[in-house]
A = this chain, B = another copy of it.
């Protein structure tokens, strides 16, 4: 069997990226419209995970995000095993929105739901519908944001009859403005990792492809020392990292930069424009779900780290003298965190290196920001 890669699961990033670039070009032309509202577009907000709007004494933040295809896993596990994971799927959706928002230092104020179905019968299953509703509210609570409405259309002929598109948006705020996370990273900064709960919300197309090839599908025991099935492991709800950023703000701990580790796996660690080498030296054994994926694909170790979060959902770069205090802030606010490496300077080289695994990703492996 040949080794799997993310591209083999059918997502063509090239077409998508051409569209994204066209959007970014056109979107930039609208920036002058902010002036009439008393706002301005801050430098370097385009291409970040969250769009910022600058006022005299605060920033507003705007994010629109979607869950991707993870709910297809919940659909299959529900059909095959009768296990209802729609509460978890809703938390995932809120997580993907607010985790992008906090990367700029904005705390989510309001989160709105977008749930589009192909057939209004989707909501006839009261247990599933109620789980989705409760999960969305729970995600908002974990994010400290109000659930500010939403949209729930029936899109017959656009959305598959059994399916649902889960997405949404958030408004966030940074006040005072000094709390903005700007990418103020220097040689010698510490790299802090916050654990993920599993694959969270990325790389699911590949996970589904693997499930299709397994005789027991999602009901395959996970093994690797873990109880439960592959499906259950995939559906562990994402961690919401808002409270980590909020706690650092309360304690006056400056976060130089943070990265929400999603699509593109550890390559996302080099999102910053400025060239640095991010050297990861403190590795944990990767969680069972990733060892399962790597073995079942099979997927090369390089491809695993290029695609999945590998147990790391969020990374923060801080001045070395703040490293221990930031670690304490993370742990005190309930996160599993550790100091994982160091930011290095090697001229114009931009890369993520993992010496214990003899792995490195150079700048050209991350085209999208």
Closest to A117 in B: B16
Whether, in the assembled complex, A110 has its beta carbon less than 8 Å from a beta carbon of chain B, the answer is yes
Chain B residues positioned under 8 Å from A171 (CB to CB): 53, 60, 62, 171
Residue of chain B at shortest CB distance from A160: B158
B157 touches A120 (CB 8 A): no
A354 to chain B, nearest CB (A): 28
**A155 contacts partner chain B, Cβ-Cβ < 8 Å:** yes
B144 contacts A33, CB within 8 Å?
Answer: yes
A112 within 8 Å of B (CB atoms)? yes
| 6 tightest A-B CB contacts, nearest first | A169-B169, A64-B112, A27-B147, A51-B149, A51-B148, A26-B137
User: Please, could you name 24 A-B residue pairs with CB atoms under 8 Å apart, sorted by A?
Assistant: A11-B120, A20-B152, A23-B136, A23-B150, A23-B152, A27-B148, A29-B137, A31-B146, A34-B109, A34-B110, A37-B107, A37-B144, A41-B146, A53-B148, A62-B171, A63-B149, A64-B168, A68-B155, A69-B156, A114-B114, A116-B167, A157-B160, A157-B163, A171-B171
Number of A interface residues, CB 8 Å? 84
Report the nearest B residue to A9, measured CB to CB.
Answer: B156
Indicate with 1 or 0, residue by residue over A28-56, a CB within 8 angstroms of chain B CB atoms: 01110110110101000010001101000
Complex Cα–Cα for A86 and B205 (A) = 28
Task: Decide if A12 is an interface residue (CB 8 Å cutoff).
Answer: yes
Asked if B110 and A62 make an inter-chain contact with CB atoms under 8 angstroms apart, the answer reads yes
Q: Collect the chain B residues with CB atoms within 8 Å of residue A120's CB.
A: 11-13, 15-16
Min distance, Cβ A171 to any Cβ of chain B, angstroms: 5
Select from chain B the residue with minimum beta-carbon distance to A157.
Answer: B72
Q: How far is the CA of A264 from the CA of B359 in the complex (A)?
A: 59
User: Assuming A18-B123, A154-B11, is B51 touching A110 (CB within 8 A)?
Assistant: yes
User: B145–A19 contact, CB under 8 A?
Assistant: no
- Judge whether A62 and B148 touch: CB under 8 Å: yes
> Is the C-beta of A113 less than 8 angstroms from some C-beta in chain B?
yes
Given A16-B152, A51-B149, A137-B27, A22:B69 Cβ within 8 A:
no
B68:A11 contact, CB within 8 angstroms: no
Q: Which one of A127-135, A178-186, A271-279 is at the interface?
A: A127-135
| Contact status A130-B22, CB under 8 Å | yes
Chain B residue at smallest Cβ distance from A16: B120
A121–B16 alpha-carbon span in the complex (Å): 8
Q: Are B30 and A146 in contact (CB under 8 A)?
A: yes
* A153 contacts chain B at the CB level, 8 A cutoff: yes
Q: In this assembly, does A197 line the interface, its C-beta being within 8 Å of a C-beta of chain B?
A: no
Residues of B within 8 A of A147 (CB): 23, 26-27, 30
Contact of A133 with B26 at beta-carbon distance under 8 Å, contacts A20-B152, A152-B20 already known: yes
A165 touches B158 (CB 8 A): yes
| Contact of A227 with B by CB under 8 A | no
Is A1 close to B, CB under 8 A?
no
Cα distance, A173 to B37, chains bound together (Å): 8
A238 within 8 A of B: no
Which of A65, A167, A205 has the largest number of chain B CB atoms within 10 A? Answer: A167
Cβ of A143 to closest chain B Cβ, rounded Å: 8
